[in-house]
A and B are shown apart, each in its own frame.
Chain A
Amino acid sequence: MSKKLPAIRFVPRPDWQKKRLAEWLEEWNLEQKLRGDTESETPSQDRHFPVIGAVVGLMNTPALLRTADFAADIVRRLSSAKAPSPPAVSPDGEAMRKLVREFDRPVAVGQVRLLSPELTPDSDRPVFIAVFGEWDEAEVLIAPFSPFSVPATTGEWLTGRTTPVLQVLEVWNARSVPNAALEESWRVDAFTDAECKGAWHVFEHDAFGKALDPEFEQQVGPPLVHPEDPRRRYQDEEVALLAKFQASAQSMQGRRFDEDDSAPAAAAAPELQEAFETGEDLALAASEKELLPEIVRVDDLLAGFQGEATGDGCAPSKASRLRLTFTGPESPRPMEVPAGGVIIVWPTGQTEPSSFTHRSGRWRTEIRLSLPWPEMVSLLREKKIRSETVPPA
């Protein structure tokens, strides 16, 4: 006799998502044909059963490994290339100055820039990026533009521009870099304030799970769920594209932090962070809006995950709820992601379990607490908040 399932029900994906996926796949497949990529994309797992592919993929093929494979593949291809020719003899200095513009400095939010070939040696296209937000001190948030005209995932934003190379911004591939890391690039255009805000909004959605405003809902791509989805290979390629740039940016960051360490703490840390770290009475400070941090890092709240707490809404000091977001890369491996989710406990209450979801190569969960932000800051400061993992039901 056949067994019974509970009365579950599904909501069909909206048609626009299906249409957009089909359009993106058409561009991707065309790109593969144009590359003359006749070698078959070897399925890493059994594709006869999508479910098996899904689960085995989840267990066994983290994106980081695939990125490493891709990088290894590039090295392999380069090393097996034909016998070396003599290096190019460039036109002399004067001639080169006429051909290659000097890099544009300084770097500022709102610029659209083209990275130099030196920064993107493995790229098969010019890489354009948008500088769409301030980050830390002397750091900006940047994201590259996609080569395609259709957004691939919920982390890609249709900018509304008609220039082929600036139509879709890969917000999921955003990264914070020191301004200096962008100095070897050319300014080619500018983002308007509205475009910067749009990119930032999609970034908050992708990175922290913030809901998209209705007008943005159809300006992004369809969700990425299946591990065998070709969009994952695309993402791996796009991440690898910026590998050298990222390495150079990180080494600059490292240098900057080293310099910061040797500076007096008061000069190195922003005022608010200092107040938070040196143990001033934040419960009191919380009443002073200017002393209330807008974001508090809570990386020690859940082992293996980065966390940050923010007030809910544009005016955190007035918020009645807290948004707590934990993100972890592919490592910790899925086995270390709390299967039953996580709860947050404080002296007067606790949350419902919140599960982790896998999005854009990271494990995330977002937890909302019904506590005023000032009180929350105080509790965090006094370490009266803790997380508990929930075993699977």
Chain B
Amino acid sequence: MNDFAPWQEWGERCAADLCSEDTQAALHEFAGMKWSLYLERGTRGSEIPGSGKISSREAWQRFENYCWIKPTREGKSTKSYLFGQLDVGKEGTPADIVRASASLIMRSVVRDFLRHEGPLRFPGHAKPALSLSDVPPNSSESLTYEDLLRDTRDPSKEAEFRELEQLAVKEAVEIIAGLKERQLIVITACALGIALSNPEVEKIAGCKKSVLSEELKKTLRDIEKGIHKDYAEEDVRGRIELAEEVFRAIHNICSQPKNQPEMWQSRLFSLATDIEK
């Protein structure tokens, strides 16, 4: 039996259960192998008891169930999708192509299993549910998932928020007046949407992009620190809101053309126009 024969037989029949024993064995083996691979990946770092593993046959049945929308030929169109991969000029043998595509579907099957049944199948072993106070992967410790969904402004305090925005503009003007030229260059470039790696920006600022990038981070960090320090007795959520408004105001001010621009400002604005074109 060649590699593709089991897939072809399955494709022509309704389900693996109606195929020859050899075909069933080959399909189950494929499913079992992929199931184990993804289960291992998905549960890496946590101990999975032997009882949590499933048979190759069950793995295949889960695969079929996941693929079927309805128990009709129409509802089983995922089969057509799998075999349709052979017609789009992919490289490899027909068996390789169909297996690769089926393997990606199996990944979703395992994700679905781990997400919804994992905690039941592996009691005491599954990773506890994600908490919003967790830190996103590869992120610093001060950004939590909770930061992604911050509280909203109370609409009954609209006038006070407008006051806050005015205060932010005032602060922004003072902050800008105290910045050095290179700091202003990086912030303006950023506000105009010009990459700091742009050679022209490097020329205008007289230093390399890595230095500029550090300058930007440090400047913004210092501004935020300053706000937290100046308003130390206020609630932290209010301080963050002010900092955001200040950054927005700095962004607006720096991106507005000036009546009597400095040389570096003219060069940055004309660079922005060129990029836009």
Residues of A within 8 A of B (CB): 2-13, 17-18, 21-23, 25-27, 29-36, 40-43, 45-56, 58-60, 62, 84-91, 95-96, 98-101, 104, 112, 114, 116-118, 121, 124-126, 128, 147, 149, 163-166, 186-189, 222-223, 225-226, 228-231, 333-335, 339, 392-393
Contacts and interface: CB of A to CB of B under 8 A. Distances in A.
Contact of B86 (A43, A45, A90): A90
B44 A33 contact: yes
Given A46-B221, A47-B140, A149-B116, A101 B80 contact: yes
Contact of B192 (A88, A104, A147, A335): A335
A60 B142 contact: no
A21 B149 contact: yes
Contact of B247 (A52, A126, A147, A165): A52
Which secondary structure characterizes the binding site on chain B? helix
For the complex of A and B, 3 pairs with smallest distance between CB atoms? A55-B247, A335-B255, A10-B151
Given A36-B41, A149-B115, 8 more contacts: A8-B157, A9-B154, A31-B111, A60-B195, A99-B83, A104-B74, A112-B69, A149-B112
Interface in B96-123: 96-97, 101, 104-105, 107-108, 110-112, 114-116
Contacts of A31: 111
Interface stretch (B23-31, B158-166, B175-183): B158-166
A10 B153 contact: yes
A52 B157 contact: no
Interface string B58-84: 000000001001100111011111011
B277 interface: no
B143 A50 contact: yes
A228 B145 CA distance: 10
Interface in B114-154: 114-116, 129-132, 136-140, 142-143, 145-154
Interface residues of B, number: 107
Contact of B108 (A86, A112, A125): A125
Interface of B: 4, 8, 11-12, 38, 41-42, 44, 66, 69-70, 73-75, 77-81, 83-94, 96-97, 101, 104-105, 107-108, 110-112, 114-116, 129-132, 136-140, 142-143, 145-157, 160-167, 169, 190-193, 195, 216-217, 220-221, 224, 230-235, 237-244, 247-249, 251-252, 255
B105 A91 contact: no
14 contacts: A13-B152, A18-B132, A18-B149, A34-B42, A41-B137, A52-B220, A52-B224, A85-B92, A88-B93, A88-B96, A96-B87, A117-B81, A117-B88, A339-B252
